Structure formats: structure tokens, C-alpha cells
């Protein structure tokens, strides 16, 4: 059987299982998934929208998450007792999420505590992180955020304390700080392998936003040179990029925003426009197909290999083994504390 025939068979078989399961099954697909997976999803969205869906879908016994592991884990934290969350490939991880762990974040917290009272400090954890970090954040009066509501989360945190520890994505934190008008010298980077994060005690005392030095390789791939080339080649085009891009790229673009914001930007652009997008390639490609009256192009071709690990074959196998294969579990104590951080995020809205 050719690969195309196998995909067609898998697609049809998945549709049949969906029909048989009805409301007891919900398939959530992240926007960076390949086209056919998005088509089979009951909902497509960014991590914020999918967290909301996962929290709201209490009638579904099985939640199958087509995305990377931390997203399925967030769904498992928000899921009810009788719900099972599965992911078609347990190895679909996120390198950025792996750039911060409980040991190094707890150490940073203690080191900052040697300079100032941590009662002044509020942790904000990007959802691209392990459940144990969401639990740490929940226990320490903090909040989760996504790229859709990072600015709101930081504003919320400044109402609760004087300083914010933002992890693991430096760029989302810095771009959000810039958008909120924080002066450059009030944002410092915490290098997790250096004493005091590579800062002096004075730096820490002066800082309002302490940024972990994590990054997404898909988005740091975009450079100011890409924007300059795009402007030369397509002078009438609008350029929008994701806030996980470095600040130099965000500053040169016409706009920046989460995947949902990027989708809205493309949909609301006048017919005949050219839009150049700096985010994961699968989403850009799909936008070009779904908005045929506009030209949507990638700023550069940058795809997430982990998102691509979810295939039709793996999704079918998961659906054929509902409730048993690749079940995502979070221990009850972690779940309880992590839910505090996620619930605070959901209360903030997008």
C-alpha cells in the first residue's frame, strides 16, 4: 500500500471512530499540527484556547491531544476525575519546556531570596513547561500564561508583588515587558548555570522582570535580516511575527501576537493583501490555503519537528486504544498545585 493510500485509510478509520464515540471523545489539535490532523480535530487552537476547551469539555470521557507533551499534561491537570487524556506520541516534547526544571527554578528562587524577600516576587510560568513548574508557581501565588495573555499575566503579577520571575521563555517575557513599557534596565536575564543567574545583587534589586534564559528554536530562527529581505522583495506586504521571536525581529515587524492573533490578523486583512508570517511553518502554509484571496508566506521556513511527530497512523493507534495507550498522568499533589496556576490563567482570559 502506498503512503498516500495508508493515510487515506487511516483518515477514514479515524472518522469512523469519531462517529462511533460521539460526545465521549474529543480531539484537540494545536495550530502547528499538520493539515490532516487539524481537519480531524474537534477543535483547533493555540495552547490557551485548547486549555480552555479541555477545561470545559467535562462530558468527554476521552481527550486526545494532538500537540506536544506539556499541552496534554495541562489538559490532564484541568481534566475531571473520570476523564482520560492521551497523546499519540509521548516523545513529542518541547525543547524550550526542557530548559527549566524544578531543581534549577527552586535554586533560582532561593538565590533571589538571598538578595530580597521573595514575598515581593511573583512567578509566571509559560504553559510551555513541566507540570512540576506549574505546581511550583501555583504554590508560590503565581500564574501560568500563554503567548495570548502573557502581558495580562505580568500586569496581574505586578498587582500582587514588586517583581516577576518569568520562565522559561526569555523572548516572550521580554517582548511582553517591552509592550508594557518596562525600561530595558529593569529586565534582566537569569542564566540558570551561573551564580545569581549571572547578575549582581544590585541588578536583582533593580530588576522588575527576571527572565529565564530559555527559547524556542523554531522562533529564534527568524532574524532581522529575514525582515529586511522580505521588505525589499515585497514592499507592500504586512509582516506579523510570534512573540517567541527575539525582540529585534518583533520591533521590525508590523505586528506580533500569539497564533490566534496571527490568524485573526490574516483573516481581517483586506482581500488581495500579502502577509508574511514569522511562526511555525505548518500554520503559515494552512493560512495560505484557507485564505485563497490573500497571499500568506513564511518569513522563513521554520517547522517544529516535535509537533510533526503526531501522524495519522499514531492518532489512529491512539483512538483504537482509547483509555489505555499513552495516557498522560500527573500525580495528585502536583495536579492540585498546578491547577491553581492554570485556573488563575484561565480567569485572566486571553
Nearer to ligand SF4, 32 or 166 (CB): 32
- CB-neighbour burial class of residue 98 (10 A; exposed 0-12, middle 13-18, buried 19+): middle
Q: Which CB sits closer to ligand SF4, 190 or 281?
A: 281
Q: Which is nearer to ligand SF4, 101 or 111 (CB)?
A: 101
- The residue among 221 and 291 lying less far from ligand SF4, judged by its C-beta, is 221
Helix (H, G, I), strand (E, B) or coil at 138: helix
Provide the minimum distance between the beta carbon of 277 and ligand SF4 in the complex, in angstroms, as a whole number: 14
Closer to ligand SF4 by Cβ: residue 14 or 307: 307
Task: Give residues in contact with ligand SF4 (CB under 6 A).
Answer: 32, 68, 94-96, 128, 216, 218, 280, 304, 306-307
Tell the smallest beta-carbon distance from residue 306 to ligand SF4 (Å). Answer: 5
Q: How far apart are CA 36 and CA 231, in angstroms?
A: 32
Answer whether 63's CB lies under 8 Å from 23's CB. no
In the complex, minimum distance from the CB of residue 291 to ligand SF4, in angstroms, rounded to a whole number:
22
273 burial (CB, 10 Å; 0-12 / 13-18 / 19+) is middle
Q: How far apart are the first and last CA of the chain?
A: 45
Q: Considering only CA atoms, which of 254, 259, 160, 158 is closest in space to residue 210?
A: 158
Residue 108 to residue 114: CA distance in whole angstroms: 10
- Bond prior to 60 in cis (omega within 30° of 0): no
Residue 25 or 307: the one with the smaller Cβ distance to ligand SF4 is 307
Q: Nearest CA to 340 among 78, 52, 55?
A: 78
In whole angstroms, the minimum distance from the beta carbon of 72 to ligand SF4 comes to: 12
Q: Measured from the CB of residue 83, what is the shortest distance to ligand SF4 in angstroms?
A: 23
Q: Which of 244, 240, 188 is nearest to 221 (CA)?
A: 244
Residue 75 Cβ vs ligand SF4, minimum distance, rounded to whole Å:
15
How many beta carbons lie within 10 A of that of residue 218, not counting itself?
Answer: 24
Amino acid at each position: 500500500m502506498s503512503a498516500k493510500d495508508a493515510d487515506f485509510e487511516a483518515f477514514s478509520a479515524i472518522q469512523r471512530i469519531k462517529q462511533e464515540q460521539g460526545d465521549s471523545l474529543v480531539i484537540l489539535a494545536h495550530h502547528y499540527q499538520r493539515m490532516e490532523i487539524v481537519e480531524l480535530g474537534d477543535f483547533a487552537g493555540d495552547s490557551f484556547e485548547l486549555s480552555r476547551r479541555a477545561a470545559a469539555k467535562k462530558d468527554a470521557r476521552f481527550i486526545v491531544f494532538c500537540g506536544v507533551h506539556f499541552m496534554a499534561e495541562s489538559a490532564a491537570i484541568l481534566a475531571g476525575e473520570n476523564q482520560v487524556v492521551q497523546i499519540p506520541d509521548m516523545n513529542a516534547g518541547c525543547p524550550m519546556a526542557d530548559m527549566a526544571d524544578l531543581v534549577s527554578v527552586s535554586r533560582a528562587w532561593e538565590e533571589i531570596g538571598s538578595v530580597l524577600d521573595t514575598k515581593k516576587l511573583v512567578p509566571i510560568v509559560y504553559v510551555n513547561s513541566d507540570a512540576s513548574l506549574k505546581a511550583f508557581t501555583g504554590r508560590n501565588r503565581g500564574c501560568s500564561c500563554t503567548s495570548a495573555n502573557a502581558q495580562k499575566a505580568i500586569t496581574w503579577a505586578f498587582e500582587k508583588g514588586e517583581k516577576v520571575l518569568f520562565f522559561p521563555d526569555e523572548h516572550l517575557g521580554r517582548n511582553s515587558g517591552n509592550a508594557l513599557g518596562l525600561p530595558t534596565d529593569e529586565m534582566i536575564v537569569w542564566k540558570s548555570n551561573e551564580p545569581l543567574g549571572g547578575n549582581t545583587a544590585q541588578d536583582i534589586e533593580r530588576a522588575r522582570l527576571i527572565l529565564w534564559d530559555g527559547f524556542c528554536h523554531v522562533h529564534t530562527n527568524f532574524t532581522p535580516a529575514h525582515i529586511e529581505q522580505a521588505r525589499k522583495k515585497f514592499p507592500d506586504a504586512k509582516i506579523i511575527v510570534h512573540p517567541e521571536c527575539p525582540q529585534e525581529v518583533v520591533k521590525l515587524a508590523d505586528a506580533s501576537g500569539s497564533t490566534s492573533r496571527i490568524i485573526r490578523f490574516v483573516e481581517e486583512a483586506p482581500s488581495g493583501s500579502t502577509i508574511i508570517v514569522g511562526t511555525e511553518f505548518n500554520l503559515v502554509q494552512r493560512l495560505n490555503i484557507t485564505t485563497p484571496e490573500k497571499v500568506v508566506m513564511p518569513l522563513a521556513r521554520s517547522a517544529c519537528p516535535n509537533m510533526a511527530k503526531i501522524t495519522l497512523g499514531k492518532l489512529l493507534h491512539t483512538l483504537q486504544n482509547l483509555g489505555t495507550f499513552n495516557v498522560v498522568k500527573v500525580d495528585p499533589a502536583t495536579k492540585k498545585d498546578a491547577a491553581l496556576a492554570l485556573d488563575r490563567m484561565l480567569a485572566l482570559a486571553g
